[in-house]
Amino acid sequence: MALIKWRGKEWDPFKELLDLHRETDSLFDSSFATLPDRLAREGVWVPSVDVIEDKDNIIITADLPGVKQSDMDISVVGDTLSIKGERKQEVEVKEKHSHRIERFYGSFARTLTIPDYVDSSKISATYKDGILKLKLPKTEKAKPKQIKIDVK
């Protein structure tokens, strides 16, 4: 029996994890590659939102491109803020062979739970260039206060 000198590299667990990560990513990439197409055909659309908080307000920004102001409804019931509306398709495609449909049309709804320290009677909204901005002011007792303490 002949002996063969082993010239392999040492086992690298990080390389193994990286390879596993790449394989997992490729599995999900291929599985969900057609998800936007399927959602568009089914008329499902959930607008993206950002929620930012400063010392005085909570600011909610929602991307609503192509939605007319008259086609949206914003309401607060209890601790739930609802943004509802519809983006209507401008031109209906009658051919059966669409090459790609990525833009979403149809009704949408987003609901967000707002904290109890928001003064819901003073919520304001602006809508410009497809961007909805909601300003939710905090109650006075929720705003941070600085108390100076004298050291003796």
Q: Which two tokens stand for residue 66?
A: 């192509």
Q: Which of 143, 131, 137, 84 is nearest to 114 (CA)?
A: 137
- C-beta separation of 87 from 67 below 8 A: yes
Nearest Cα to 63, choosing from 114, 120, 108?
Answer: 108
Per residue in 13-25, pLDDT tens?
777 888 888 887 7
- Identify the structural domains of the chain with CATH numbers, from first to last: 13-42 (no CATH), 43-89+104-142 (2.60.40.790)
Q: What is the pLDDT of residues 103-112, one digit of tens each?
A: 777 889 999 9
Instruction: Look at residue 64 in the predicted model and tell me its pLDDT.
Output: 94
Residues 82, 151 contacting (CB under 8 angstroms): no
Contacts of 40 (CB under 8 A, 6+ apart): 101, 102, 103, 104, 105
Six-digit token string for 117: 């320290």
Q: Please name the residues in contact with 115: beta carbons below 8 A apart, sequence gap of 6 or more.
A: 58, 79, 142
Q: Summarize pLDDT for 46-87 with one digit per residue, the tens.
A: 888 999 999 899 999 999 998 999 999 999 999 999 999 998
50, two tokens: 């950002």
* pLDDT greater at residue 10 or residue 78: 78
Which of 7-21, 88-102, 128-142 has the highest average model confidence (pLDDT)? 128-142
The DSSP H or E segment spanning 24 is helix 13-31
**Which pair of tokens denotes residue 152?**
């003796």
pTM value surpassing 0.75:
no
Structure tokens at 135: 């300003």
Structure tokens at 75: 């309401």
